[in-house]
């Protein structure tokens, strides 16, 4: 049980988690109570509660836990996938984690072992997107196999389950979640027509160099 006077703990992160949950619901990446988001500051994590409708999530419903998963603020039990979030934070220097069940990404997770890099924007995801082997939701085994798949990547699919991304903060993580579903949709549609062309390491290195040189994706004065 949380201690009295903790209502303002991680207030910004709780607001961002709630806003991110509503955005992903609006865009169709989560449905009903499925999916979960979190944001970390220091040794504390703001995380969506289990059983909450993400489309209507309020910051006051977001729980705060410590690195051992103990609730230190909020009145609701954290998501059943808390193990997954804590494992990712334990492995990577990130500030936010998004786990969702996007329809196309989830469909591909039932079929492929990897989503190859078919568009240069997938560089933001780390390139090709691996598919972690199936494990029961909420288990430490799932958390570990997904974190293994995320090595060197910002995104991974979870076999017959969904997708997960991590980033510096919740806005960046929700952007990656949307990008991942877009990339999976592009691959799916291309594969329905024929064998998609895959961008090799040499092409991706060229793109990375151009992005760095032109500061692609950032506004700048003329």
Catalytic residues: 81
Q: Is the dihedral of CA 159, 144, 205, 209 positive or negative?
A: positive
Residue in 17, 25, 21 with CA at minimum distance from that of residue 45: 17
Q: Which residues are bridge partners to 40 per DSSP?
A: 45
Helices 140-149, 82-91: axis angle to 10 degrees equals 40
Can you spell out the DSSP letters for 167-210?
Answer: ESSHHHHHHHHHHHHHHHHHHHHHHHHS------HHHHHHHHHH
108 three-class SS: helix
What are the φ/ψ torsions at residue 129 (nearest 5 degrees)? Answer: -105, 115
CA 24 to chain centre: 11
């Amino acid at each position: 049980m949380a201690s009295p006077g903790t209502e303002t703990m991680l207030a910004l992160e709780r607001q961002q988690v709630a806003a991110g949950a509503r955005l992903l619901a609006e865009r169709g990446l989560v449905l009903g109570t499925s999916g979960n988001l979190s944001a970390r500051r220091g040794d504390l994590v703001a995380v969506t509660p289990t059983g909450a409708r993400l489309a209507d999530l309020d910051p006051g419903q977001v729980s705060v836990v410590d690195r051992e998963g103990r609730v230190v603020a909020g009145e609701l039990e954290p998501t059943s996938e808390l193990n997954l979030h804590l494992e990712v934070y334990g492995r990577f220097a990130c500030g936010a984690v998004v786990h969702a069940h996007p329809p196309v990404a989830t469909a591909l997770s039932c079929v492929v072992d990897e989503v190859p890099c078919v568009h240069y924007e997938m560089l933001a995801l780390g390139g090709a997107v691996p598919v972690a082997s199936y494990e029961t939701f909420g288990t430490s085994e799932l958390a570990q196999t997904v974190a293994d798949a995320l090595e060197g990547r910002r995104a991974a699919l979870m076999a017959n389950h969904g997708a997960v991304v991590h980033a510096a903060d919740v806005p960046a993580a929700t952007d990656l979640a949307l990008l991942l579903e877009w990339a999976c949709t592009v691959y799916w549609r291309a594969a329905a027509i024929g064998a998609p062309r895959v961008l090799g390491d040499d092409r991706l290195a060229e793109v990375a160099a151009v992005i760095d040189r032109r500061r692609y994706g950032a506004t700048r004065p003329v």
